[in-house]
Structure 1
Amino acid sequence: MDITLGLIALGGGVAIGGYFIGDGLKNFKNPSASSNHTEELEDWGQPKLIKQKDVHHHLGISKEDAHSLIKDYPTIPHLTINDQIYYPTKKLKKWANTLSEEQ
């Protein structure tokens, strides 16, 4: 019984490993291409919308700097839901990157 369970686990591991190796070989000649799996893993656990009080965490700046940034740049991507302002995480980071490239 123990050997059967071990063989099943080994077979499952080989199958999963084969899947990931095969997926990696899809872009073997194009190493700069990103996999959908990589993008999904990077976003895993990240909220889609963040509150104003959490903007500084996602941009890696102080609370005071985040407050000044929001005040000085009204074009910052945001949504208002029930009088509460939310910031889409991906759009906020993309916006901050373009802002830093301009300066």
Structure 2
Amino acid sequence: MDFLFLGIGIAAAGYFIGEGLKNFKNPEAKGVMDKLDDEDLYELIKEKDIYYHIGVSKEDAKELIKEHPDIPHIVLNGTVYYPKSKLKQWLSNLGE
């Protein structure tokens, strides 16, 4: 069993070293975590799921939407969607 964990560790180390060497001469290149952050730019959240992404209860999310109709959103075929990146930015500006 110890050899299994050793093998997994060596494989993981090889992967991360290989990723680092790919961008050795290009330090401005995006890393794995940066690529994951870019996916948030285009992700849309349905109105019924917004509570999960902002970390409040369903009732609190409904009240927030009711009190703040200026939350950035779009409507497609009668369904309200919130762009994830704009929602994060709006929430960070709300406390100021």
> Is residue 50 of structure 2 the alignment partner of residue 55 of structure 1?
yes
Higher relative contact order (CA 8 A, sep 6+): 2
Q: Where does structure 1 differ by over 4 angstroms across 4 or more consecutive aligned residues? A: 43-47
Give the CA deviation at 1:71.
0.6
Counterpart residue number, 1:78: 73
1:1-103 pair list within 5 angstroms: 13=14, 17-21=17-21, 23=23, 26=27, 35=30, 37-42=32-37, 48-100=43-95, 102=96
Identity of aligned residues (%): 40
Number of positions where the alignment pairs a residue of Structure 1 with one of Structure 2: 83
Counterpart code for 1:23: N
5+ residue gaps, structure 1, are 1-9, 28-33
Larger radius of gyration: 1
Q: Which runs of 5+ in 2 are unaligned?
A: 1-10
Root-mean-square deviation (CA), in Å? 3.3
